[in-house]
Amino acid sequence: MSAVPKIDAPLACPTLSWRNRFAALGERFYTTMPADPVPNPRWVAVSDSCARELGFPHDWWQREDWHALEVFSGNAQWPGMQPLASVYSGHQFGVWAGQLGDGRALWLGEVDTASGPVGLQLKGSGRTPYARMGDGRAVLRSSIREFLGSEAMHALGIPTTRALCVTASPLPVRREQIETAAVVTRVAPSFIRFGHFEHFSYQLGPEEGHDALRRLADFVIEHQMPECRDAANPYAALLETATRRTAELIAQWQAVGFCHGVMNTDNMSVLGLTIDYGPYGFLDAFDPGHICNHSDEQGRYAYGRQPSVAFWNLHALAQALLPLIGESDDALAALEPYKTVFPRALMSRMRAKLGLATERDTDQALVDALMTRMAQDKVDFTIAFRRLSGFSTADDADNAAVRDVFIDREGFDAWARDYRDRLRAESSVDAERAVAMNRVNPKFVLRNHLAEQAIRQARGDDFSEVQRLLKVLERPFDEQPEHSAYADFPPDWAQHIEVSCSS
């Protein structure tokens, strides 16, 4: 592994002070190491939105004295960076996988921002001790998908890791075929996963492991969940906080039609962030059984199973924290809120998607009836809800725009009568409701075929579509008539796109 030179750049990040609080935990938690350089790096895309949150100037990536391209390709370090790869374990597809870790990722350190300290991490920066025979690289296609997916989810208002930039290199990488390397820079308040806790609960002996487990939990409470400090049982409070945040997150996923694809415990953030954009996808035709990951042969992580899988993963986290929590009843009590928080959060979002300003006991039945009809007719999820914003409560309205996306028109008409009655019961005003619904029902999501088109161009060294698509996805709720093609029904060939764990 080649050493990475430090650059003497006095103007590099003049407003930033680098630190890495995670490093204070000690060497049981990580391995300090440099990135493995790549040849001839070049910019694919940068997120101006993410850069602003970090306090970077608008031209940060173009400043020659910053050497940013080299830094964020893993070829150099700014003064103060402390690259390290963390160790964790986890359950993969429901099976204990033992030790895992950052096999191709390095935490560079943290910077202070207006919203608090955030960490930066390179993904695809080379082999680490946790690579498990892997090459430590990420390929261009998956790196583009992670970059766009992260920023698209942020624009949708869904908790997620961010992506500052993605760089590419002609370095060959073997997957199913020879591809080229790329590096994504991820940004988040923390990259700590359920699997970090599992590792120290199970992998080491009780004395050493449980001491490390306590240190990790105390670290999270001190820096990420200070509200847990004064609880009667701070570790149970940590678990309950993770439970509530995860419940809210999954409700947001379901409401926007997002499928993660690999909800292993090592891919679950203790902060309730969407993390690890591998074989993810947004629903086209609505199908509760949709499997976005070609590697998921049993459908464990199908769209409709995500809520129950998240609860399963939380039980795994609870088991890992049990040596600190003490009583199993206390751990179970900390998990209990999921059963009410998730359905309440999801129903709240579905009411908003339907433009309902009040709550009624019949709302669940109204939502269920719509989703049943959408599943029967394989109705496009995003388009249907966006068009529903134009629904008219007038007696003579045919509401053709949304009606025509259903095969069973009479079935839709029956539902529409109930919907119209419900809207009238709360004196809903069509124009006002349309504005409110368009704030929660996106017009643009990162469909697989849009990502695929950008990737195909990028493989020819044309990154313009990645950059263009990023700009569209940063404003998912706006009409953007000049980009209406990005909101069209997917082409027939999109049905044959396969996304797997290979990246």
Q: Which residues are catalytic?
A: 266
- Hunting for tokens 């899988």 — which residue is that? 309
Strand partners, 182: 138, 168
Classify residue 167 by its DSSP letter.
E
CA gyration radius, the chain: 23
Answer for the pair 146, 123: CB distance below 8 angstroms, yes or no. yes
Phi, psi angles (nearest 5°) of residue 380 = -65, 120
Render 67-125 in DSSP notation, one character per residue.
THHHHTTTS-B-TT---EEE--EEEETTEEEEE---SSEEEEEEEEETTEEEEEEEES-
Q: How many helices (H) and strands (E) does the chain have?
A: 16, 12
Answer for the pair 66, 8: CB distance below 8 angstroms, yes or no. no
Answer for the pair 89, 199: CB distance below 8 angstroms, yes or no. yes
- Hunting for tokens 């005003």 — which residue is that? 429
Sign of CA dihedral 424, 425, 431, 437: negative
